[in-house]
Amino acid sequence: MASQVRPEDLEDKIARLLMTQVAGSQVAERLKQADAGWHDRAAMADLRSRRVEALRAKELEAQDNVIVLRRAAG
């Protein structure tokens, strides 16, 4: 004896599958946005650290110039 599947049951299953598909694509989009945001934050942190390194290098160079000038004057 084959079990009878009611059309309403099939419609409910199809509706649930479609909702799951939509929810899955929304989650995928949010993950994609979060990943892009993470990369943006990582890039900004890298730029900040490079800027700090460049400022330190300039400061050290300025200190070296002062020492050279003092030795030359003294």
| Cα–Cα dist 61/24, whole Å | 55
| Cα–Cα dist 45/39, whole Å | 10
Structure-derived torsion over alpha carbons of residues 36, 42, 48, 54, reported in degrees to the nearest 10: -120
pLDDT tens-digit map of 11-70:
888 888 888 888 888 888 888 888 888 888 888 899 999 999 999 999 999 998 888 888
Q: Which alpha helices (H) appear in the chain, and where do they start and end? A: 7-73
What's the predicted TM-score (pTM) here?
0.50
